[in-house]
A and B are shown apart, each in its own frame.
Chain A
Amino acid sequence: GAVVSQHPSWVICKSGTSVKIECRSLDFQATTMFWYRQFPKQSLMLMATSNEGSKATYEQGVEKDKFLINHASLTLSTLTVTSAHPEDSSFYICSARDTSRVSYNEQFFGPGTRLTVL
């Protein structure tokens, strides 16, 4: 149990285009999902917390108009990188928290999406 999927697993796009990444909890409901970004040889950095039915909470320094988050259902959150530029190239990972589990803080991670912007 507690499987999180992401789609696509990798994407290459031209500068200026928008890219949508999906994060799904496959066997549990997730009222809260998290989006992280990881640059090479760096740690995972939380970008935003996605809440089902309400607005996402963004970390300091993350542009909400550039990284659009939609959490339309209890099993799906999407991250759209708008007008992507080469500096947005990174490994984007989502995670979800199953609040029905005893270990309240445990987050289950998706396999990640590698974005390359040319």
Chain B
Amino acid sequence: RKEVEQDPGPFNVPEGATVAFNCTYSNSASQSFFWYRQDCRKEPKLLMSVYSSGNEDGRFTAQLNRASQYISLLIRDSKLSDSATYLCVVNRGTDKLIFGTGTRLQVFP
């Protein structure tokens, strides 16, 4: 079983839609959680950190449920430019980042 699991998608949504991605992690010692965005053939870029209290950055909302070892990302009012692969990433408090395989989002006009 992978340490970080994500639905690979693709999620095909129209512009303006709300879409949610989920992620589960298996190691209860994980301490830090992130969502990264990766465009095709590019490096991953940090989208946002995820906190237990939940956090929002514009159209993006991230939630963490430590008891269920579950992380979510909600994107509201999807834009064409949101099309990318979204990577769920955890850190056990060491330098090591553990990446999920990513969920692909395609926003169409």
Contact = CB atoms under 8 A, between A and B. Distances in A.
A and B physically associate: yes
B12 to A, nearest CB: 17
Contacts of A27: none
Contacts of B45: 109
B95 A97 contact: yes
Contacts of A32: 95
Contact of A107 (B87, B97, B100, B101): B97
A114 interface: yes
Interface residues of A, number: 21
Interface in B20-73: 32, 41-46, 49
A97 B32 CA distance: 15
B101 A41 contact: yes
B96 interface: yes
Contacts of B49: 103
A93 to B, nearest CB: 5
A43 interface: yes
Contacts of B97: 34, 44, 46, 107
Given A43-B100, A105-B32, A91 B41 contact: yes
Given A49-B96, A109-B44, A112-B43, 5 more contacts: A34-B95, A41-B101, A43-B101, A43-B102, A44-B97
Interface of A: 32, 34, 41-46, 49, 91, 93, 97, 103, 105-107, 109-112, 114
7 contacts: A43-B101, A44-B44, A44-B97, A93-B43, A93-B44, A107-B97, A114-B41
The 9 closest A-B pairs by CB, nearest first: A109-B43, A43-B99, A43-B101, A44-B99, A112-B43, A111-B43, A105-B32, A93-B43, A105-B91
